[in-house]
């Protein structure tokens, strides 16, 4: 999982902020309370930090033990959970300055959107396929003037006879847009599917 945000501060200040884990309570997500933080600050390579964290609505607090396994000033902090709900979980904090002349909008258009394009394309293709192949809800909730391809193909099957030649022809024609869509976005589709893959 990857998440990014833009902070209106020099990169050195943001990096220093993350080297002090006592700031965790200030950036904790909703529903998470950081009760205590123990460690030596600022963090260094192989530093270990012990946190007491409560995940709402649970009334019990958990003890997390985290170690810094990689540190590259001022662009990278990687910590690994030694004890907690997700042992061996790695958390990477990457920092980068906005290119000269970039605003939040231009950074989104030039940096974030191209990086997210494979995932967006994969989502579009699967949403298109689900809509294109829909049968059950269309048959139950729509009228004859709003039908999908599967409903039209089903009409070739009657109670007493079936037009198999027309049914097969319609089935072939119905696959053409899907094949074209896959070939048109194949490169981005593969990237989108494998973007979150983890080697096992």
Judge whether residue 166 has pLDDT over 70. Answer: yes
Cα 108 to Cα 9: distance, rounded to the nearest angstrom: 17
Q: What is the pLDDT of residue 196?
A: 58
Cα 102 to Cα 27: distance, rounded to the nearest angstrom: 25
Average pLDDT value for the chain:
82
| Domain coordinates in residue numbering, the chain | 11-94, 104-194
Sheet of 76-83: strand order equals 32-38, 48-55, 61-72, 76-83, 90-94
Q: How confident is the model at residue 64 (pLDDT cuts 50, 70, 90)?
A: very high
Q: What is the pLDDT of residue 200?
A: 44
CA 167 to chain centre: 40
Query: Tens digits of per-residue pLDDT, 21-59?
Result: 889 888 888 888 999 999 989 999 999 999 999 988 888
Q: How confident is the model at residue 175 (pLDDT cuts 50, 70, 90)?
A: confident
**What predicted TM-score, i.e. pTM, was given to this entire model?**
0.51
Query: Tens digits of per-residue pLDDT, 10-23?
Result: 888 888 888 998 89
With a pLDDT cut of 90, the percent of the chain lying above it is 18
């Amino acid at each position: 999982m990857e998440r990014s945000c833009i902070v209106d501060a020099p990169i050195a200040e943001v990096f220093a902020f993350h080297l002090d884990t006592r700031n965790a309570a200030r950036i904790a997500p909703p529903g998470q309370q950081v009760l205590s933080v123990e460690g030596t600050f600022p963090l260094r390579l192989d530093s270990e930090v012990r946190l007491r964290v409560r995940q709402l609505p649970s009334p019990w607090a958990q003890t997390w033990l985290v170690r810094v396994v990689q540190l590259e000033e001022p662009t990278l902090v990687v910590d690994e959970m030694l004890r907690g709900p997700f042992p061996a979980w790695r958390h990477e904090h990457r920092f980068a300055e906005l290119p000269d002349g970039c605003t939040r909008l231009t950074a989104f258009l030039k940096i974030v959107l191209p990086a997210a394009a494979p995932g967006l394309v994969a989502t579009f293709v699967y949403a298109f396929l689900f809509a294109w192949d829909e049968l059950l809800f269309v048959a139950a909730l729509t009228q004859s003037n709003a039908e999908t391809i599967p409903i039209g193909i089903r009409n070739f099957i009657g109670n007493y006879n079936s037009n198999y030649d027309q049914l097969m022809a319609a089935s072939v024609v119905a696959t053409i847009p899907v094949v074209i869509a896959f070939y048109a976005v194949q490169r981005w589709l593969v990237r989108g599917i494998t973007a979150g893959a983890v080697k096992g």
